[in-house]
Structure 1
Amino acid sequence: MENTDYSIEQIAPAATLMIRQAELYPLMLLKKLQLENDEEGIHFGLFHKNKLVSVVSCFEGIDKSMQFRKFVTLKEFQHQGFGSALLNYVLAFADEQKTKKIWCNARTTAIGFYQKFGMIETSDRFSKNGIDYVVMQKEL
């Protein structure tokens, strides 16, 4: 059963850092978690009972594509539908922006999650900091 007690809002880039650190890079300093182009992105946060529990950062490409990055939900709020709600929101946002393709560098452990949203694996794979990734995309 998905949780419906949430709101999704555009947030400042700095608001994403605590969740990025908590779930993706716990040993990294907050200032190191900022992306070079964070200020150029559009960042969304999902709030549950006024607490920020899930974040994602979106970046438009010159070819009418959109990449989403650093998509993460706090561990204690995972498997409750919050990440799915936020990804559905991002997909609808990309569609409204007339984006032709949305894509991400997915951790290979999350392939099944993204496939539920119609995203497909590409042949582009890489490893970074001991984590395996695959580029996944969806034509809109």
Structure 2
Amino acid sequence: MKEILYATRGVSTIEYEPRVPCLIDTITEFLYSDEFREHLNNGLKLLIEKQRIHGAIGWLANTKYLGAIPEDDTKWVIEDWMVRAAQAGIRYVATVLPDDEVVRVGNDFFDGDFVVPNTNGLILKHFHNLESACEWLQGSLIKS
């Protein structure tokens, strides 16, 4: 059963799904850069707390309803947030792709699955729905 751990102005949540285990980050409306980064930084703190309970835990970014992400924020996620997540021991990040194809095409972040540079092998994989993302995370975490 999912439990909301964190919310920003009703437009973003971070939910805990212990059956996977993972945290599910959902943003439904535009967040300014400082709000976006604060949201993800708080999520990383929660992820580290839950990692102490589970050992291996995943992050699921539900970007299904997300609009365009400014290039600076995309770069920050990959070069800063994911590096810190990997340093904390996180190895798997799943992303549910946005419904809006224009958003996907206009953002390099959604171009294929990849091992994130400078993260000692953190794997980012993209999906079209929450169920398949959760299945992949669960299977990957079991193997870890």
Fold shared by both chains (TM-score > 0.5) = no
In terms of Rg, which structure is larger? 1
* Smaller-chain TM-score bracket: 0.3 to 0.5
- Normalized against structure 1, the TM-score is what? 0.42
- Normalized against structure 2, the TM-score is what? 0.41
